[in-house]
Amino acid sequence: MLTEALLEALEEAGVSLQEFRELCLRLLNYGVLCRAESQTEQQLYDRYLRIEPLVEEYLDLIGVSLFHDRRFAYLRLYPPGARVPGMEDAPESAFSGGLRARLRQDEVALLLVLRLQYDKALREGQLDEHGHVLESVESLAIAMRNLLGRTLPDKIVERKRVFNRLRQLRLIDYRQDEEMENGEAWIRIHPMIVTFVSDEALTALEDELPQPEAEDVS
C-alpha cells in the first residue's frame, strides 16, 4: 500500500502513523501479542482490531503471516514457509512458533509435555474462563518422567531459564516470586500452546511413547 493511501486509511481509523509503527514493531520484535498479558498489550491489541486489514497487508508484503485467535484474544506471527493454523497448504513443520523461535532440547521436551497436559485438561473440562490450565511444577515433572523418561533441570538456574523462555513466548505464566525448584509452585498454560505445538509433533511423540503391555487373559 502506498504511504499516502496508508496515511489516509489510518486517519479514517483514528490511528497515527507512529501508533501503526509501534504496533507493527512490537509484533515483529516479540512475535506474539496477548491482550490479557498487560495493559500495554491490551491497548495494542485493541488498536490492531481497528486497523486489522492494514496490519495484515503490511505483514503480507514482507512475507509474514499472522494468526489471530479471537476467542482468547491473541496474535502470533509466522515467518515465510511456516505452517499456520487453518492454512493446510502451507509446508509442514514440527513447531509453528512465531518467527522461528529457536528452542533448546529441554525447552522442546517441556513444550510437548505442556501440550499433552493441556489436552488432558481440555478433555476433562478443567480450563478456566480464559482457556488457561493450572498445573503444578510437580505434576509437570511427573508427566515428563512418565512420558519422555526425562527430568526437569536439576539446577535452579537452568530450570528458571526453561520456564522463563516459555513465559517469554506467552505459552505459560506464573508469579515472579514463585520458587520453581519447589514442586508446589504453580503455572498457567496458555491456550495458544495448541497452535504453537502442532498436532504432527504430538503424533510423532505419541508414536515414540512406550505402549502399555496387553493383559494376559489366558
Q: Could you state, in order of their start, the residue ranges of all structural domains in the chain?
A: 3-78, 105-208
| Number of helices followed by number of strands (H, E) in the chain | 9, 6
CB atoms within 10 A of CB 198: 19
Q: How confident is the prediction along the chain (218 residues), in pLDDT tens digits per residue?
A: 457 888 999 999 999 999 999 999 999 998 899 998 889 999 999 999 999 999 999 999 888 999 999 988 999 998 876 666 654 444 344 444 444 557 788 888 899 999 999 999 999 999 998 889 999 999 999 999 998 888 888 888 898 899 988 988 889 998 876 666 666 789 999 998 988 887 776 776 666 555 544 444 44
Q: Indicate the class that CATH gives domain 105-208.
A: mainly alpha
Which residue bears the cell 511427573? 142
d(C-alpha 15, C-alpha 28), whole Å: 19
